[in-house]
A and B are shown apart, each in its own frame.
Chain A
Amino acid sequence: MDNAVLARYYDGRTTRPQEVRLAVVDGRLSMRGEDFERLVPVEHLRVGQALGSAPRRIDFPSGSHCEVGTEHLAGLEVLLAQLGFKSSRVAHWQSRTRHAVAALAITLAVLGAGYRWGLPLGAELAARQIPPQAAELMDTHSLRLLDEVAFGPTRLPEAQRNRIIARFDALATPDGAAVPHHIVFRDGGKIGANALALPGGTIVVTDQLVKLADDDEQVLGVLAHELGHVRGRHSLRQLLQTSVVGMVVAWYTGDASSLLATVPTVLLDTKYSRDFEREADAYSAAMMSANHIPPERLATLLDKLEKEFHPDGKVDGGSLEDYFSTHPNTGERIKRLRQGS
């Protein structure tokens, strides 16, 4: 038979190859070697998926098998079809360039959607599961670190601190839900005027920020923004999201270079951070409004902070730097807050 498929047969016990011809006889696989012939029913054959031009094998129940080289793969396809084997869909996709292009497009679309919506959603669900005790442990650890590295004990008078805390605790939250929190004051040292929210509900405010503010209401605006971070569990979500992004980027760039991995990771992470900042701004505006305090107060303080840190710059529209920044452009934030009031 000129369309017989040539193969090599191995009995699975030694490495001695035997040349055989494969063909279909009476709906069964016929394997004819130099000194033997076998007829194997279809149900006894195990055939793997085609893999490009790689040699294929047919396994027999006795532990033996035969291998078909690249030159005879086409003939093998015909033979397998005659025996009733369906070729795999995945193998079909892998054999056509236009499927490869489609696969590339789908991959990019899914990854993009996952980054934009999927991962944030998953992180939000996961953050809800983390017990408060774990979050409080993180706070203790972070605060100790900050006290060692950056902050000193507060120098604000106790009366002033208590007054701010009392006024803030008297405020209603936008949706009425109580948000457990714990406000502490620190001398900001080199960091200067700032405020941050830790995962377990600790809100740190620096003396310099309080001194920079014109009145209590501006400080309350900042505290409301930080409370927004606590309410939304932003610290935990940020942590989860950046961990997954880092892992995926590292897995993809693999052994190419770890230097390559840092730039895309930073760009991807800061977008998440800016989204959280926008959410916190909106929470602050809502909370201020609910208590009949103009959200404008926070905008004024942001303006003062900006002038403090960039005395010769203009608070203006965006630039390329914004994509590397953890906060949205300050001009944009001020505009949004003022429009809200």
Chain B
Amino acid sequence: MSDSGAPVQPVQSFRFTGTGGEYFRIWIVNLCLSVVTLGIYSAWAKVQRLQYFYRHTSVAGSSFDYHGNPVAILKGRIIAFVLFMAYSLSGEVSPLLQVATFAVLAVVMPWLIQRSLCFRLHYSSWRGLRFAFRGTVRDAYSAYLLWPMLAAFTLYLLAPLAHQRIKEFQINNSRFGDADFRFQGDTGQFYILYLLSLLIVVLGVIVIVAPLVVLVIALFKWQALGGGGSDRAGFMIAMVAMMVIWLGVLFSIYVVAWPFYTARLQNMLWNNTFLGAHRFACDMKMGKLLGLHLTNILGIIFTLGLFKPFADIRMARYRIESLSLLPADDLESFVARQEQEVAAMGDEMTEMFDIDIGM
């Protein structure tokens, strides 16, 4: 990995120093202010949240920083809110209108995503140098509209390919200072990931649901022989059985396949990402991720949501500390590049419509 004669650089692990208790205090005060100001303050709260997480994340002794403009974020949020309400209410006026609204949103979405990537990266920095995103709107449409549509039209057989194209678009167009990010993951790895995940779902369903189906059939047989009560009881059994089977399916997807998929995907993405001559490594473990996620969900349920800030911190800590940088030099030779100001609107709208653009 390094030239002969050049000193080998030590691996730099990413560190996260944020704590749940401290973040909870920040979070609850910001929530209170947001509610009291009917949501206006939420833009400032978002900047603080990102700053807290960025500044507590460090590599090679230096932390990251976020310097987005709250006013720009507020404008974006207002527009996103209006669009969301329009979409919700259009369904009541006529289904045609709702389909039309959806079509407009779908067409506009790649542009929004491209803007949000520009915004998020431009306002992120490390050691004083900014990140940047140089993907064109045309490439955004190819990645976020063309490939997903192709995937849908081929019954999702092309979904792993579309996913690879999207990641390529996101990563290859990202820069730090004068250095470019590069993604070397090939489509084959995505296909293996999807196939294995699907296999786990199928196995999970069989293992969990099969005994349930057997049990339900036994119950029905028992009832038909006159062992049970009226028709109503039979109906109740059927309803409960359907619900349990459905929960079983959800459970096997959510609990078993999701941590496998997520851990493997993250590892594959980072292990194949370069920044100039430097590279990254990620070693998330499926079991650890599952345990973390389940305890987070239980915590949130039993505290009616108050555990959420703690859950966010725990998840961030695990994700960040699974990551390391394999530097090719002493990391002091990055140089700044001139970039112009970027409008904020994109970031907020994609958040409103729940699109995950992060890695």
State the A residues within 8 Å of B (CB).
Answer: 8, 10-17, 48-49, 51-55, 57, 63-65, 67, 70, 90, 93-97, 99-100, 103-104, 106-107, 110-111, 114, 134, 137-138, 141, 199, 239-240, 243, 246-247, 252-254, 256-257, 259-260
A104 to B335, CA, bound (A): 45
**A15 touching B89 in the complex, CB below 8 Å, given contacts A51-B52, A64-B128:** no
A69 to B269, CA, bound (A): 31
**A243 touching B25 in the complex, CB below 8 Å, given contacts A10-B128, A51-B51:** no
Interface residues of B in 320-338 (CB under 8 A from A): 331-336
A333 to B104, CA, bound (A): 46
**A104 touching B297 in the complex, CB below 8 Å, given contacts A10-B128, A52-B26, A65-B128:** no
User: Which A residues lie within 8 Å of B28 (CB)?
Assistant: 100, 103-104, 107
The 8 Å CB contact of A138, one of B17, B23, B61, B92, is B92
User: Which A residues lie within 8 Å of B33 (CB)?
Assistant: 90
User: Which A residues lie within 8 Å of B333 (CB)?
Assistant: 14-16
The 8 Å CB contact of A15, one of B19, B36, B94, B177, is B177
A259 to B127, CA, bound (A): 42
How many A-B pairs have beta carbons closer than 8 Å: the answer is 129
The 8 Å CB contact of A54, one of B51, B61, B334, is B51
Judged by DSSP, the binding face of B is helix
**A103 touching B17 in the complex, CB below 8 Å, given contacts A14-B334, A252-B305:** no
Complex contact A94–B29 (CB within 8 A): yes
Complex contact B63–A94 (CB within 8 A): no
Interface residues of B in 121-162 (CB under 8 A from A): 126-129
Given contacts A12-B129, A106-B36, A243-B89, 9 further A-B contacts (CB under 8 A): A12-B128, A13-B336, A15-B128, A51-B51, A52-B23, A53-B19, A94-B26, A110-B32, A138-B92
Shortest 5 CB-CB distances between A and B: which pairs?
Answer: A10-B128, A103-B32, A54-B55, A15-B127, A16-B332
User: Which A residues lie within 8 Å of B177 (CB)?
Assistant: 15
Q: How far is the CB of A11 from chain B (nearest CB, A)?
A: 7
Q: How far is the CB of B201 from chain A (nearest CB, A)?
A: 18
B85 at the interface (CB under 8 A from A): yes
B167 at the interface (CB under 8 A from A): no
Q: How far is the CB of B318 from chain A (nearest CB, A)?
A: 16
**A67 touching B126 in the complex, CB below 8 Å, given contacts A52-B52, A107-B32, A256-B300:** no
Complex contact B331–A54 (CB within 8 A): no
User: Which B residues lie within 8 Å of A8 (CB)?
Assistant: 62
Complex contact A141–B94 (CB within 8 A): yes
Q: How far is the CB of B74 from chain A (nearest CB, A)?
A: 16
Complex contact A134–B62 (CB within 8 A): no
Complex contact A106–B128 (CB within 8 A): no
Supply 11 A–B pairs (Cβ within 8 Å), ascending by A.
A12-B336, A51-B51, A52-B52, A54-B56, A65-B128, A93-B29, A103-B29, A104-B32, A106-B35, A106-B36, A110-B32
